[in-house]
Amino acid sequence: MKKDHVDASLLPQIPAEGKSPTGEAKPALDSAAPEQGSKEKAAVAGGQLTAFPFVEDERNDQGRARTRRVGYLEGLRGIVAIQSLLWTFLRLFCPAVVVAAAPGPTWMVVLRKVLSPVFFDSTLPMSLYIVLMGRVGSQTFIERRKAVALAGPCVRRPVRLLVPIALSLALSTVLNYLGAFSSSAWVADRVHDDYARPPAPITSALVYFNSLVALLFAPQTYDSSRVIDFMAPRGLVWFVSVAFQQTYVLTVVAWTIPYLLRRWKIVGLSVLIVLSAWVARWSWYTLTGLALSEFSVVYASTLSTQMTRRLQWASVAALATGFLLKYLWTAAFPSHINAELVFHADLDTGKLLFDASSSGLVYPRYDDFLVCLGLLALVELTPALRRVLDVAPLRFLGSLGFAIMLTAGPLLLSLGAYIYRELVSHHGWSDDGARAMLFASMMPACLVAAAVWTRIVDDGALWFSRAVYHFLVT
């Protein structure tokens, strides 16, 4: 039996005494494109080990600044940020546009069936965020193949997430005790939906502390845990526990990638993704993002034109299938929207997952996965799409994504609810007219608030996380 030949020169070498493991710093490159010798190119083309750097720029080893993020992925994140903002506004003031069970006029029902799967779906924005987190979470390690690029996120991510979440929870608490949400109960009664009701108040410092810890370390992803109920609007920040915990899943798997032959990368990642899907774990999404990262950095440039075209058509097919399923659940069978969750293993009973809707957990979905996989793969394979996404306005919106999640809800439930109540109760506006005015005024206000939060809180958290990591390693 013929054995796979591994070129020993491609394995990591122990540096001579007195030498730096990385040698002399090479000049920074303006492009993230690989710059390789003939031996490295042959290793990639031949499916051998890839334990060598694909990018010589060392500036990202200690953390990637916003200006050095992957531009087209940041632009895609910007589109998702707008989707999430649209969904938040509609969920609070026009619930029938995004929820089949919510009562509302005919125009809301039509809008939901025609546009919501693409523009303001209930689950797709969060799913895209999680897959993108897998795609970019180990980007520097995939490019550089250096341990420091893998260790850094493990230390920085908790700090980077905890600071904004802690301040956002404190903000919601202060607004609650000041009565800023007093109009939101009126809005909930007006739209006949409890989602717009004010969040629960925090009663002690212990409850505050335990809520933050539970959000990060909960063994499963709940959409109704106490910290989620304390933040406005309720049920929106469950993705933080996924982003935190999946960092360490990605670290373990990413470490093995440079030291596997190409065929075993494909087999190993495929098995992990399929099994994660079957047991309904979010590593299904994040490992898919990691696989796309390895493909984009290492192998995409080696594809023939014919193979690229085939993969593009496969991506379009996955994207179309995902949207077809979403339209089926939204327009034709809204009462069966969770029927697809049956096709997961129930780890409590050993059978299929028949009672997913009553468990209080947030599960990854097959339709969302197909849309995310098809869209991201198509973007990675199509230079024209990457150029469209890599524009300054979209990149700017992408930088606001996390802040929009944390600030739009409190602003809409306080100032937005107050304006809505004033227009309808004291100025004689119709509900539709008040919603239109609210949309025109509050959407820009939410973007401004998110921009301020990003520059002060998010950028501060990024700086502090890098400072903590620098302190720990020096």
Residues 6+ apart with CB under 8 A from 307: none
pLDDT score, position 6 = 47
Distance separating alpha carbons of residues 244 and 285, to the nearest angstrom: 14
**Of 236-240, 342-346, 393-397, which has the strongest mean pLDDT?**
393-397
User: Contact at 8 Å (CB) between 100 and 330?
Assistant: yes
Residue 325 near residue 336 (C-beta atoms within 8 A):
no
Check whether 223 has a pLDDT greater than 90.
Answer: no
Q: Is the pLDDT of residue 349 over 60?
A: yes
What would the pLDDT profile of 202-217 be if each residue is shown by its tens digit? 888 998 898 888 888 8
Q: What is the pLDDT of residue 45?
A: 79
Specify the pLDDT at position 214: 83
Residue 361 DSSP code: B
Confidence class of residue 235 from pLDDT cuts 50, 70 and 90? low
Reported confidence tier of residue 358, pLDDT bands at 50, 70, 90: low
Is residue 54 within 8 Å of residue 36, measured between CB atoms?
A: yes
Mean pLDDT of 422-438: 94
pLDDT at 58: 86
SS3 of 251, please?
helix
Report CA Rg, the chain.
Answer: 24
What pTM, to 2 d.p., does this model score?
A: 0.89
Region of 11 on the Ramachandran plot (φ > 0 left; ψ -120 to 50 alpha; else beta): beta
Predicted confidence (pLDDT) at residue 27 exceeds the cutoff of 50: no
Q: Are 143 and 297 in contact (CB under 8 A)?
A: yes
Query: What's the confidence (pLDDT) of residue 359?
Result: 64
Among 296, 298, 299, which Cα is nearest to 73's? 296
Lowest mean pLDDT among 226-235, 248-257, 432-441: 226-235
pLDDT digits (tens, 9 = 90+) for 102-149: 888 999 999 999 999 999 898 999 999 999 999 999 999 999 998 888
Q: Where does the pLDDT of residue 16 fall: very low under 50, low under 70, confident under 90, or very high at 90 and above? A: very low
**How high is the mean pLDDT of the chain?**
87
Q: Could you count the other beta carbons within 10 Å of the beta carbon of residue 148? A: 16
- The dihedral built from the CA positions of residue 108, 111, 113 and 116, taken in this order, carries a sign that is negative
Which strand (E) or helix (H) includes residue 354? none
Tell the burial category of 76 from Cβ atoms under 10 Å away from its Cβ (0-12, 13-18, 19+): buried
Q: What is the pLDDT of residue 61?
A: 83
CB-based contact 289:137 (threshold 8 Å): yes
Residue 78: which pLDDT band, with cuts at 50, 70 and 90? very high
Mean pLDDT of 149-171: 91
Cα–Cα distance measured from residue 433 to residue 333, given in angstroms and rounded to the nearest whole number = 31
Q: Which residue has the higher pLDDT, 88 or 30?
A: 88
SS3 label, residue 224: coil
In whole angstroms, give the CA distance from residue 141 to residue 37: 20
CA of residue 87 relative to chain centroid, distance = 15
What is the structure's pLDDT at 355? 78
Q: What distance lies between CA 406 and its chain's CA centroid?
A: 14
Q: Measuring CA to CA, which residue among 435, 450, 473 is closest to residue 95?
A: 435
Give the list of residues 6+ apart from residue 287 with CB closer than 8 angstroms, or none: 134, 249, 250, 253, 269, 272, 273, 276
Q: Residues 276, 287: contact at Cβ < 8 Å?
A: yes
Specify the pLDDT at position 226. 67
| Percent above pLDDT 90 for the chain | 59
Given this model, what pLDDT does residue 131 score?
96
The pLDDT score that the predictor gives to residue 102 is 87
Instruction: Determine which of 197-206, 330-339, 352-361 has the lowest per-residue pLDDT on average.
Output: 352-361
33, pLDDT greater than 50: no
Tell me the mean pLDDT in the region 88-93.
94
Residue carrying the six token digits 């025609």: 114
Model pLDDT for residues 49-65, shown as the tens digit of each residue:
888 889 888 888 888 88
In Å, how far from its chain's centre is CA 25? 33
| Total residue length of the chain | 474
Taking the CA atoms of residue 23, residue 25, residue 29 and residue 35 in that order, the dihedral angle to the nearest 10 degrees is -10
Of 53-62, 218-227, 357-366, 377-386, which range is least confident?
218-227
